[in-house]
Amino acid sequence: MKLILLEAVLYLQIPLTWYLFRRFAKRNVTGEMIAGAMIGAFNEFATEPLWDYHLHLNVYKDTPLAVVLGWGVMFTLVTFISEKLYCAFLKKPRIEPRDKRIFVFDVVAAALVAFPLETLGLKAGIWTYRYDRLAWDWGTVPFFNMPYEALFGYILFMLVTPTFVRYWEKPFEGGV
């Protein structure tokens, strides 16, 4: 029963995130959510043997649709936080084109947003790691009690994926 409620919450987070950004940030995040879900679909397909999911509505083997769409929400949050940190720390009104310093803020946003969401999903029982296949042995991050490899994986992932999301968000929203 707990997982059915969690799955419902995962689906509700999508329109809720879109609405909250539209209402309070005056920002259309449709493009970020679509681009992020595309990355999520690729990631889940490529890494499917490494985790076991425990939800009901699946799109590929045991990979839930809610998780694939949840990547869109996560990347929306990561890019937003990263851009806000960039502007605040560098005292800029917006990201300057081709400014590589954004990568630092993408990595920080991964640690602030993506890694805690990963921890929450694992601790809630939405998925379990296949440690027999992962062979993660670096130890665990204090407080989170999560493998260092998961944090490092998110850091590496954020060196590429927010750039993809930023590049494709406008075309998905009908812009250039």
Instruction: Give me the pLDDT at residue 3, please.
Output: 87
Note the pLDDT tens digit of each residue in 51-61: 999 999 999 99
pLDDT range class, residue 176, cuts 50, 70, 90? low
Note the pLDDT tens digit of each residue in 127-155: 999 999 999 999 999 999 999 999 999 99
pLDDT range class, residue 174, cuts 50, 70, 90? confident
Note the pLDDT tens digit of each residue in 105-123: 999 999 999 999 999 999 9
Percent of the chain with pLDDT over 70: 98
* Overall pTM surpassing 0.75 (yes/no): yes
- Name residues whose C-beta falls within 8 Å of residue 149's C-beta, 6 or more positions apart in sequence: 134, 136, 138
- H or E element that contains 50: none
The DSSP symbol for 130 reads: -
